[in-house]
Amino acid sequence: MEVKTSLLDNMIGVGDMVLIEPLSEDTFIENLKKRFDHNEIYTYIGSVVISMNPYKSLPIYTAEKVEEYRNRNFYELSPHIYALADEAYRSLRDQDKDQCILITGESGAGKTEASKFVMSYVAAVCGKGQEVNKVKEQLLQSNPVLEAFGNAKTVRNDNSSRFGKYMDIEFDFKGDPLGGVISNYLLEKSRVVKQPRGERNFHIFYQLLSGASDDTLKKLKLDRDFSKYNYLSLDSATVNGLDDAASFRTVRNAMQIVGFMEDEVQSVLELVAAVLKLGNIEFKPESRCNGFDESRIKDKNGEFCSVHFNYHSYHLFHGFSFIFLFLQDNSFEQFIINYCNEKLQQIFIELTLREEQEEYIREVSNSQYMKTNRKWSSLNVCNSNIIYVADFIIVVILNPTTVYHNAENYFSGLLIHLSTILVYICPLHVFCCLTVYHSLLNVVYVVMAPPTAGFQFRASVGTLMKNLLTKNPNYIRCIKPNDKKAAHIFTDSLVCHQARYLGLMENVRVRRAGYAFRQPYEPCLERYKMLCKQTWPHWKGPLFFLEEKRRQCLEDLATLIQKIYRGWKCRTHFLLLKKSQVVVAAWYRRFAQQKKYQNIRSSALVVQSFIRGWKARKLLRELKHKKRCEEAVTTISAYWHGTQVRRDYRKFFRANAGKKIYDFTIQRIMQKYFMGLKKTMPSMSPVDKSWPARPYGFLDGMHQDLRRIFHLWRCKKYRSQFTEEKKATYEEKLAASELFKDKKALYPSSVGQPFKGDYVEITKNPKYQKLNSLVEDKVLLADVVSKINRANGKGAPRIFLLTKKSFVLADQKTGQVKASVPLLDLSSVSVSTQSDGFFALKLKEGSTSAAKGDFLLSSDRLIEIITKLHRIGAASADRNQINIDISDEFLVQFKQDKVCVKFIQGTPKNGNGVACKRKNNRLLEVSVPSP
């Protein structure tokens, strides 16, 4: 049986800072450093967890670790974030106490990762089921979406959260998650339009340009080049360790899991694209003689739109003598973020230190406690007066001149003093946020603006603080060991600074001064509250009597519950029987009425058919009689008109005879021409270019048009006889022509060879049944190729299998798989211009298969293999285009080394074949016979 590691067994340093001896700042930091050097990144201060960011992956978050800390006492095992998560979850599930976990620390200290570990642990230990799993997956997949739109690379952290996040998860009585609500606090919107040097914009912009397909970017009218957008910083656009393309695919998948519809996802991407394009708008002022400035911008059609501003409407700002720039080093948003952190620190002090202080005051009157705790109380100072000052504003937006003159009208004869102005620059416009007028009579004229960012933030933070105070708090204090974001580096001064402003030493002193365990008196009697109001909360009798009364009460309650449940069950069964009887009766009545209606309907149809038949026959006889009468009249009329025409024709024959003869002659010539074409029609083969000669010159245009039309019709008839398989074969041949015609000397000999695909009969050959079963997709090509050895240039036979997703190389004799590479990892294929069959499959740098190196192969069916590879890449969903490089000299990556493959014309020693020989460690020379 596996032995669990307790808090004291084989402990490195001190796992709980409450037990450290002697207690000083030096021993505190030294203990953290000692544990950090041995990859012990978690340390306790009582129930508070200190988390050191290791800046590397540690094997302490496995499924086995989850089971190890599940349903265990908090101090039973070594410190871990799972212990705190389990304690909070069990308190919620078993004691019905609302829990909150506060994760605080500097940027880069690991707060985001800590929240993910807590979420993953709760998701692992709660119940299972289709709906529960769906809710858990949605909660977990919300992180990639929030990080894409709210995280950015800063100088301190490559994945810094630029917003506050409060996730409220609702659980049922079994402890299973029912859903969740995520509240965001103060997103750093100013980062969209401007980023400090060395920092990036939000991840989503880079992910969209790197990971979206060409078709998506075309629809959004975007370009992959970051340099074309003013809102994207170029000095740090690429971050080591961040794959923006893969992250974009993860975000798209996460949005679908969370519940975004496809049109909603498209709308979000369109909004992101719009922000990028708005950053490229340029304003060009042009001075005008009438006192106005004209700002011109281009619209999407390339036309100029003009926006006019009154120059004199802003003259008020030139008279200011005092301008206070708010927070020179940090933005206003960063100031509010710091303010929020201080409020959370205040909560920590309030719940962790002051409650202990008040408990000590109630229990022990000790002057030393009072003196020490006075210092703790001073930490509660988090003044928000500056937020209130920022909200005390006069908005001068539409026309400040009007406000100024109105003020003069109201306070005529009084001296108006300008006291303060705060100008805050917001993205795509300018808001004047503070102007206060004072008079000699101490009268203030204030025009109140809509709720400001500071007001909204203060209200939301106040709601957050009230919410947190109603829950049982659990704390994770995150510390970053160094500013270099590197593993195995512990900067004592930096850690000491964080420990001081987090109040960790004071927390240790409070824990050491108090009791190790304290159970309130009233919850002890909570057990007997059910008996009667007289026993709560003033009972002073023997405890065993209360236990007997409680047991009897529980039995009575159990009997009552069983009675109610059985009654409910019987009534439910009765209601189901009643409902079934009503349904059966309704269906029977419906069936009877339908049958009766069908009988009546069939009878009515028979009667109607006889009546309609009789009427139709009568009408037919009348129509026949009418038709015979009309035919007789028509015949008589035709003879009479014929007589009249012949009479007129004889009268005017001589005048119109020439034109009649000409028209008749042309008609006969055309008739003879068409009859001749019918007799001398060429074959139906599209390659037959024969066509009968024209008999007369004036038919030349029509003769050529008929030839073209007949050829098109003949080609259409010929194509209609093709099967889908034959069409695919001809399309591959056409693709091969586009790739290799006049570029590869081997191509002409491959034109007459059909593309068979399976040359080893892998589906029929029993020798390769196991190999065929290992391939998941349909095999598009199976052939024997030669894998070229870099050491001596000799080839080893391999079975080459190609599917829509990967290619596989296997041993020819045993069928054992030697290599399996996804086509997504394939970047290009290199071949020579000669008549050889050598080709190199080159893998993408940084891909999962890149460590194996490139593959140098030789095959007589090179044209077919590369054509299929190119068509598969072009037809894939992510448009993984595989480039074809045709050159007599190219490089091949063999694991860590690059080797040059060079093709020369000559006569190999072994006859007319192609020979490959190693010249040195960096050169393979291939001798190809001269044409």
In-domain check, residue 217: no
Do 782 and 854 lie in one domain? The reply is yes
- 548, two tokens: 């007997």
Do 772 and 857 lie in one domain? The reply is yes
Rounded Cα gap, residues 17 and 49, in angstroms? 10
Rounded Cα gap, residues 353 and 350, in angstroms? 6
Looking at every residue in the chain, the average pLDDT score rounds to 77
651 is annotated as contributing to ligand binding: no
Tell me how far CA of residue 550 lies from CA of 529, 542, 560, in angstroms. Answer: 9, 13, 15
112 is annotated as contributing to ligand binding: yes
Contact 928, 905 (CB under 8 A): yes
Rounded Cα gap, residues 80 and 553, in angstroms? 42
Q: What is the pLDDT of residue 403?
A: 35
105 is annotated as contributing to ligand binding: yes
Choosing from 419, 436, 459, the residue where a domain stops is 459
Rounded Cα gap, residues 785 and 98, in angstroms? 66
In-domain check, residue 323: no
DSSP per residue, 34-68: HHHHTT--EEEETTEEEEE--SS--S-SSHHHHHH
Rounded Cα gap, residues 268 and 283, in angstroms? 27
Do 755 and 851 lie in one domain? The reply is yes
Rounded Cα gap, residues 408 and 548, in angstroms? 85
**Number of domain units in the chain:** 3
Angle subtended by helix axes 111-125 and 81-95, to nearest 10: 50
Q: What is the pLDDT of residue 758?
A: 84
pLDDT in tens, 540-563: 555 556 667 777 888 888 899 999
107 is annotated as contributing to ligand binding: yes
In-domain check, residue 64: no
- Look-up of token digits 């402890």: 175
Among 351-365, 809-823, 853-867, the minimum mean pLDDT is found in 351-365
Torsion of Cα atoms, 425 then 429 then 430 then 431, to 10° = -100
Do 691 and 763 lie in one domain? The reply is no
pLDDT in tens, 557-610: 889 999 999 999 999 999 999 999 999 999 999 999 999 999 999 999 999 999
pLDDT in tens, 875-892: 766 656 788 899 888 888
Assessment of whether the complete model's pTM goes beyond 0.85 = no
Angle subtended by helix axes 203-211 and 262-278, to nearest 10: 110
Contact 196, 162 (CB under 8 A): no
Burial of 548 per CB tally in 10 Å (0-12, 13-18, 19+) = exposed
We report the CATH number of the domain holding residue 863 as: 2.30.29.30
Torsion of Cα atoms, 356 then 361 then 364 then 367, to 10° = 110
Burial of 375 per CB tally in 10 Å (0-12, 13-18, 19+) = exposed
Nearest of 783, 888, 784 to residue 836 by alpha carbon: 888
Compute the radius of gyration of the chain from its Cα atoms: 44
Top-confidence range, 33-37, 76-80, 850-854: 33-37
Do 849 and 784 lie in one domain? The reply is yes
Rounded Cα gap, residues 53 and 81, in angstroms? 12
Rounded Cα gap, residues 15 and 10, in angstroms? 11
Per the rule left: phi > 0, alpha: psi between -120 and 50, beta: everything else, 879 is left
- 772, two tokens: 């065929």
- 380, two tokens: 């509660």
In-domain check, residue 185: no
Look at residue 176 and tell me whether its pLDDT is greater than 50.
Answer: yes
Choosing from 443, 459, 475, the residue where a domain stops is 459
In-domain check, residue 414: yes
In-domain check, residue 123: no
Among 376-380, 659-663, 803-807, the minimum mean pLDDT is found in 376-380
Q: What is the pLDDT of residue 766?
A: 79
Do 703 and 801 lie in one domain? The reply is no
Top-confidence range, 53-67, 176-190, 410-424, 656-670: 53-67
Do 744 and 716 lie in one domain? The reply is no
**What are the backbone angles phi and psi of residue 529, rounded to the nearest 5°?**
-65, -25
pLDDT in tens, 274-307: 889 988 887 665 555 455 445 554 444 455 555 4
Nearest of 92, 98, 17 to residue 52 by alpha carbon: 17
Per the rule left: phi > 0, alpha: psi between -120 and 50, beta: everything else, 186 is left
- Look-up of token digits 């928000």: 384
Choosing from 459, 486, 510, the residue where a domain stops is 459
Task: Tell me the pLDDT band of 58, cut-offs 50, 70 and 90.
Answer: very high
Do 904 and 756 lie in one domain? The reply is yes
- HSE on the CB side for 96, CA within 13 Å? 3
Q: What is the pLDDT of residue 530?
A: 60
pLDDT in tens, 463-503: 778 877 788 888 999 999 998 888 999 999 999 999 998 88
Range of the structural domain that residue 893 is part of? 739-929
Look at strands 177-185 and 164-171 and give their pairing.
antiparallel
- HSE on the CB side for 827, CA within 13 Å? 13
Rounded Cα gap, residues 423 and 445, in angstroms? 19
Rounded Cα gap, residues 446 and 395, in angstroms? 9
In-domain check, residue 444: yes
pLDDT in tens, 324-373: 223 334 566 667 777 777 777 777 777 666 666 666 666 554 434 444 44
Look at residue 209 and tell me whether its pLDDT is greater than 90.
Answer: yes
Q: What is the pLDDT of residue 453?
A: 66
Look at residue 3 and tell me whether its pLDDT is greater than 80.
Answer: no
Q: What is the pLDDT of residue 69?
A: 93
Q: Which residue has the higher pLDDT, 131 or 16?
A: 16
Rounded Cα gap, residues 722 and 686, in angstroms? 14
Do 683 and 757 lie in one domain? The reply is no
In-domain check, residue 21: no
Q: What is the pLDDT of residue 573?
A: 93
Look at residue 915 and tell me whether its pLDDT is greater than 90.
Answer: no
Q: Which residue has the higher pLDDT, 516 or 314?
A: 314
Do 686 and 782 lie in one domain? The reply is no
Q: What is the pLDDT of residue 477?
A: 92
111 is annotated as contributing to ligand binding: yes
Do 747 and 816 lie in one domain? The reply is yes
Q: What is the pLDDT of residue 541?
A: 52
Task: Tell me the pLDDT band of 445, cut-offs 50, 70 and 90.
Answer: very low
Long-range pairs for 8-13: beta carbons < 8 A, 24 or more residues apart: 11/78, 12/38, 12/40, 13/40, 13/43
Burial of 668 per CB tally in 10 Å (0-12, 13-18, 19+) = exposed
pLDDT in tens, 222-277: 999 988 999 987 777 888 888 999 999 999 999 998 888 999 999 899 989 988 99
Do 687 and 752 lie in one domain? The reply is no
